[in-house]
Structure 1
């Protein structure tokens, strides 16, 4: 009868827990970096609105505290691979030098038990960061339309297929500004949620009588944020594609979001 080594069981336990959180995990994966290949105890991947997140994890089932050298080694691997985060799991703690080495970096030193308690904040912070970066990039793209040559800008506005004016705005250029303002509002809501200031406001793109919905949990906010970003990205892409004609903007909105809003409105 074979007995699984403690270190191997520890890797499997870490991998299993991350899988429960929605990550795609692999144990003992070889990953190519810019300067060579690296054997990773556990790799964890998650896709968030088209952005791939990669965490790499070292699992130390040691009977002593992890020294500084192991942290510095992991930091170099994280940098070489271009991973978003690095984690070192140890149930017997870390030397003081290791803790100092990880300060103000994208490395986290933890135990499996501590991570079970704290993982929710880690996941939320990562998702919020990715969503915020996507929104910031999209707002910059909409703003850059105004820097186009006059004929290109006019052509882009002529292809605008978004909410038809936000009631208080007149003309397609102003409606485009309205899309950007909604993205800005979404950033503010994500920031509030990050600090647990619930409920947060969600303004649908197709405002009806100035309505605003209160979102009371992270799952709901992530859903409307992801789908709103997808909608705004499609609006932008349609504007920037020569030869396209205006379409009903709701064909650019994911059906799941359309269905949710219809259900809330009792339609």
Structure 2
């Protein structure tokens, strides 16, 4: 009867836990970097609104604290493969030099138990950052339409396929302001959620009688934020594609979000 080595068992424990959190994990993956190939104990991937997240994890089932040299090695690997985060798991702790080496870096030193207690904040912070960056990029893209040459700008506005603007505004350019305003509201809600100011407000793109919905948890907020961002990205892409004709904007909204809003309104 074969006995699984402790180090191998530890890697699979870490991998299984990350899988339970929604990551796609691999044990002993070889990843190509800019300067070479690297053997990774555990890799963890997640996709948020089209953006790939990669975490690189070292698992040290050692009987002593991890030294600084191992941390510096992982930092070079994280940089070379372009990972978002690097983690070192150890149940025996870390030497003081190793801890200092991670200050102001994207490396985290932890144990399985500590990570179990803190993982929600880690993952939520990563997702919230990506959503916020995507919203900021979209708002800038919509704003940049006004910087186009008049003929190109007018053509883009003529292809606008999105919800109407604010009631006191008229015309398609003003309707675009309505889209960016909703995105700004979403950004504010993400910020409030980051500081646990629940519930947070969700303003649907197709406001009905000034309605606003309360969202009380991260899972719900992530769902409506992702699908609203996808919708606004599709509206922008439609505007910027020559030859396109205006369409019913709700065909650009993911059906999952449309169904959710319909169910809420039918209550």
The reply on whether 1:169 has 2:172 as its aligned counterpart is no
SS in structure 2 at match of 1:58: strand
- Rounded Cα–Cα distance in structure 2 between residues aligned with 1:172 and 1:240: 14
**Secondary structure of residue in 1 paired with 2:243:** coil
The match for 1:112 is: 112
Structure 1 gaps of 5+ residues are none
Give CA deviations for 1:120-151 in whole Å, capped at 9, x if unaligned: 11110011011111111111110110110000
Contact 1:166 1:207 survives alignment (8 Å): no
CA drift at 1:264: 1.1
**Residue 93 of structure 2: aligned partner:** 93
Q: CA deviation at 1:265?
A: 1.1
**2:129 aligned with 1:129:** yes
TM-score (normalised: structure 2): 0.99
The Cα of 1:86 is off from its aligned counterpart by: 0.1
Deviations 1:64-123 (A, max 9, x none): 000011111111110011000000000000001100000110000000111011101111
Could you tell me which residue of structure 1 aligns to residue 235 of structure 2? 235
Partner residue of 1:189? 189
Determine whether 1:70 maps to 2:70. yes
Contact 1:166 1:206 in 2 (8 A): no
The 2-side partners of 1:75 and 1:215 are apart by 38
Mapped to 2, the partners of 1:53 and 1:252 lie a distance apart of 25
Q: Report the Cα distance in structure 1 between the residues aligned to 2:12 and 2:165, rounded to whole angstroms.
A: 54
Give the structure 1 partner of residue 255 of structure 2: 255
Offset of 1:168 from its aligned partner?
2.7
Q: Which residue of 1 aligns with 2:35?
A: 35
Contact 2:24 / 2:46 at 8 angstroms: preserved in 1? yes
Partner of 2:265 in structure 1? 265
Residue 29 of structure 1: how far off its partner (Å)? 0.5
Retained in 2: the 8 A contact 1:34–1:81?
yes
1:9 aligned partner: 9
Distance, in Å, in 2 between the alignment partners of 1:245 and 1:169 is 23
Partner SS state of residue 108, structure 2: strand
CA distance in 2, matches of 1:95, 1:256: 49
SS at match of 1:166: coil
Query: How many angstroms does 1:37 deviate by?
Result: 0.5
* SS of 2:15 mapped into structure 1: helix
- Indicate whether 1:25 and 2:25 are aligned: yes
- SS class of match (1:144): helix
- For the aligned residue pairs, the C-alpha RMSD in angstroms reads 0.8
CA distance in 2, matches of 1:25, 1:167: 48
